[in-house]
Every structure is written in structure tokens, then in C-alpha cells.
Amino acid sequence: MSEKAAKCPFCPYDSTYDKTSLREHLSQYTATCRIPADGVHDVLQIQEMLHPGFKYWCQYRCPGCSKVINSRRRFIEHVLKLDHYGRYGGRTRRRYHDDEDEEHPWPLPFKKKDVAIPKWTGVFDFLRLPYDIRYIIYKYVLFFGDIMLEQRKPAEIVRPTRRDGKHIWLQYNPCWNSLSLLAVNRQLYDEGRQVFYGLNSFAFVKTDDIPIFLLGIGRGNAGLLQSVQWKNKEGRYENQIDVIRSCMTRAGGADKALEEVPDIWNDDDIFENLLHVLRVTDPPFPCLMRLDAKDKPKKTAVPEALYPGLCIQKSRQWFLMGI
């Protein structure tokens, strides 16, 4: 980033801040816990500004074991430590210098271009592919088979982060998060979620986590589930999706319009019945509530100034979070 860069090129950012403050501002949109995409801040451009040369980053394939390694330094260390020179011979062979980086010569007996896997830098129109091809890609990225949801750690209070006088829920989006594909646009979300929720099997160590899971993914995604497992009386995991479906809505509500159907997302009695069927002894705290829920409870008993976004209603404690 240039020393003169004192203003965010994407928004009316206060230019009186120094270079470090500007970097911190831009990093909020690319960090592991980041401000959700706003359609204004271009993540790829920000990465190039913060890390010049990012677009030239590439992976390397080891000539000895064919392992793909993510960085130049790690690749060199891997080859030198394990003597993985493959068909290029050993240490006595000629060394090639990396013309792109004169300060850090290439210390291996083969050319960098022979083992580099360049990163795709052009524009790829994914949605122009036939749906059958897109479906194969969705399965490759989003299908894991059995997804084991381990016992939760002790409850942690999750609060929004204060940014520019507003409370913002940060999005957990690590670089290895394959579900970030669903955040590209509405069409990819609708197509990809059918693979993720419809083909994967979700196994729970504790049934206490199931209500939190269902509330978090929402009515539409819960309707796609085909396999939800927990241990039966014999101690073996068994698909109990029929039990889940029977508890999500009130009997006889299928003939009503979708927005009028009483379910665990808008009716406390049905939610409490689900807790009873799953033998949840304690209310699942904290849990998530979608902002589009029909019965968003009023904030009571807890001062908003102390716990922004926290609401309490009957047996449910909610943290208002858009999902």
C-alpha cells in the first residue's frame, strides 16, 4: 500500500487517520472474523492492497511425493529436508535462480516454473456452466458424508462488535471455509444448500445441540435435511429425521400457507415440545434466532446497554443474529 494512501477507496473513510489505521479498517473485511460483505468493499482488491503480490501467489507440487504445498518457503523446506528431488536429482545438481525475486534465490536443482501451480487470475463465469456440471462442483466442495457435531464447549456470550457507533455481527469466514461459496449470490446459495443439507448426514453427540442447529439454519434449510442422527438406546447412531420432522410443525398445519404454519421458529409451545421429545433437560443457551422469525421477542429483563441484542422470553434465550 502506498504511503500516501490515507483514504479508503471504497467508502467515505476519514482521511485524517494514518496508514496503520487505514490498514486496520480494510483488514476488517478480510480477516477470519470479518464484517459481512456489503457490496462496496472489494475483498480481492483489499487483499492486493494489504499484501502486494498476492495475485502472483501460487502452490507447488513436490517432484518426489506429489504433495501440493501452499507457500514457496514451505515447499523449499519440504524438498531440502526430505530430499524429495524426484527426477531432478540431488543437491549436487545445478541451482536455478528465481528471476522474479533476486533477493531470495531459488536454491533447488530445477526451475520454479516446473513445479509451480499458478493461481487462476482471470474471470470465470461459473453460472454459465450447465447445472449438471455445477452440481458436480457443489458435491465436490460441500459433500462431506457424515458431519459429527461434537459436544459444545461451555456457553460463551456472543455480542456484536461496535463499528462506527453501530453494533455489527462479525462473520466467521476462515480461508478454508467451503461454505463461503453459498455467500456469493442467491442462486448459488439456493443450489448449494440443497447439496449441503440434503446429502450430508448430521450426527449429534448431545441432543441438546439439535434445537440450536435447527433454529440457526432456519425453516427452509431444515426442510432439506435427510439425515439427523443421535445415539439410540443401544448406543448406536441412528437416523431420526422422522422424529425431527414430526416435531418441527404442529399436526394439521400442512394445509396452511407457509407463513401461517406454527412451527419451532415461531411458536413457543412447539419449541418446548421439541425439547421434551429430545429430552433436553436445560434450555439450550445461548441459541440463535433468525431475524426473519415471526415471533422476535421483545427485549425484557436485560438492559440493552449491557447486552446488546440479547433477549429473553420463556425458556428461550436469544442472540439476535442474521444467518
| 191: in domain | yes
| 270: in domain | yes
What pLDDT does 135 receive?
96
Identify whether the C-beta of residue 227 lies closer than 8 Å to the C-beta of residue 202.
yes
Is the domain of 89 the same as that of 170?
A: no
Q: How many CA atoms lie within 13 A of 148 on its CB side?
A: 5
What pLDDT does 199 receive?
95
Is the domain of 168 the same as that of 237?
A: yes
Domain count, the chain: 3
Collapsing DSSP to helix, strand or coil, 119 comes out as coil
| Grid cell for residue 99 | 528471476
What pLDDT does 34 receive?
86
Q: Which residues contact 135 (CB under 8 A, 6 or more apart)?
A: 191, 195
d(CA 94, CA 111): 10
| 250: in domain | yes
What pLDDT does 191 receive?
96
| 125: in domain | no
What pLDDT does 304 receive?
39
Q: What does pTM read for this prediction?
A: 0.61
Is the domain of 284 the same as that of 312?
A: yes
d(CA 219, CA 245): 11
Neighbours of 118 (CB within 10 A): 10
- Stretches where the chain sits below pLDDT 70 are 1-6, 12-17, 53-57, 90-104, 120-123, 151-159, 163-164, 251-260, 281-323
Is the domain of 251 the same as that of 284?
A: yes
Identify whether the C-beta of residue 126 lies closer than 8 Å to the C-beta of residue 134.
yes
Is the domain of 282 the same as that of 148?
A: yes
Give per-residue pLDDT as tens, 61-99: 998 888 888 888 889 899 988 888 888 776 544 454 444
Q: Which residues contact 270 (CB under 8 A, 6 or more apart)?
A: 247, 248, 249, 250, 262, 263, 264
What pLDDT does 202 receive?
95
What pLDDT does 299 receive?
43
Give per-residue pLDDT as tens, 159-198: 677 766 777 778 777 777 888 888 788 999 999 999 999 9
Neighbours of 135 (CB within 10 A): 15
| 119: in domain | no
Is the domain of 162 the same as that of 294?
A: yes
What pLDDT does 289 receive?
46
Domain span at 267: 131-298+305-319
User: Which of these three, 114, 141, 156, is where a domain ends?
Assistant: 114
d(CA 141, CA 139): 5
Give per-residue pLDDT as tens, 297-309: 444 443 334 334 4
What pLDDT does 319 receive?
37
What pLDDT does 87 receive?
80
Is the domain of 143 the same as that of 265?
A: yes
What pLDDT does 307 receive?
38
d(CA 287, CA 301): 17
What pLDDT does 179 receive?
85
Phi, psi values for residue 92, rounded to 5°: -80, -10
